[in-house]
Structure 1
Amino acid sequence: MLKEFREFALKGNMIDLAIGVIIGGAFGGLVNSIVNDLLMPVIGLITGGIDFSNMFIQLAGQKQTTLAAAREAGATIAYGHFITLLINFLIIAWVLFIVVKAINAMHRKEQQAPAPKPVPRDEVLLTEIRDLLAAKK
């Protein structure tokens, strides 16, 4: 049973999946940085300085000025965090769409490439005769 498990764990597909998960995690960190460090400041500037990460609705307790304080005070809906995650999702979905589109375009080019025409038998024979004559000289 241990041998079967080792064969399963070391199959190419399993290793490819593990590499994909690791790269996906790194990609997620990259997207978070793009959203939080590049896009959100621009969106904040366009919207007049709105900070999405601190947007919330206080459901219980006294009204608070920061999200952390509102969460300590009671039930809070942090919809600003949701907006940030939605932007992350849209960026990831867009990048994956572009990648899949590029892969599909490469597959179409491979399928459309004409197969090499088979060489007629008489040309093959003539080539062999030429090579034999050249070898005798």
Structure 2
Amino acid sequence: MLKEFKNFIMTGNVIDLAVAVILAGAVGMVVTGFTNDIMMPIVGHFTGGVDFSDLKIVLSEAIVAADGTVEKPENAVMWGKWVNAIINLIIVGFVLFLIVKAYNKTKKPKEEKPAAPKGPTQEELLIEIRDELRKK
């Protein structure tokens, strides 16, 4: 059983999958950094310095004790974070679109296969068979 497990783990597909998962995590960090650290400040600049992640609708205020401890936390709909997520999705989608478009331009166009030589149709074959039978 241990030998079977070793063979399974050492196959190329499992190793390729492990590499893909690790790379996906690294790409995820790059994408998050790009959107949060580069694009969102630009979006915030054009929206008058608004940080969407702070926007919310407070349903019930936090209850704070006299000593400053929070007895009951604030209950709020954080709609600004949702707007940030949508903006991030649009930015990432657009960048991926540009990358795929550029990649598709680098690929060689597929050569069309020459059309197969056109043979006689079924009707022509039947006519030939009929004529041959008449000769006999």
The alignment's TM-score, normalised by the length of structure 1, stands at: 0.59
Post-superposition offset of 1:11: 1.8
Counterpart for residue 38 of structure 1: 38
Matches within 5 A, 1:1-137: 1-61=1-61, 73-101=73-101, 109=109, 111-112=110-111
Residue correspondences, number:
104
Alpha-carbon separation, structure 2, partners of 1:105 and 1:4: 44
Cα gap change, 1:89 to 1:8, in 2 (>3 Å): farther
Cα gap change, 1:24 to 1:53, in 2 (>3 Å): same
Alpha-carbon separation, structure 1, partners of 2:39 and 2:92: 14
Unpaired runs of at least 5, structure 1 = 63-71, 115-137
Name the % identity: 40
Task: Considering fraction of residues, name the structure with more strand.
Answer: 2
The alignment's TM-score, normalised by the length of structure 2, stands at: 0.59
Post-superposition offset of 1:85: 2.4
Post-superposition offset of 1:103: 5.7
Are 1:31 and 1:91, in contact at CA under 8 Å, matched by a contact in 2? no
Matched to 2:54, the amino acid is N
Post-superposition offset of 1:50: 0.8
Bigger radius of gyration? 2
Deviation string 1:54-73 (CA, Å, 9 cap, x unpaired) is: 112212225xxxxxxxxx73
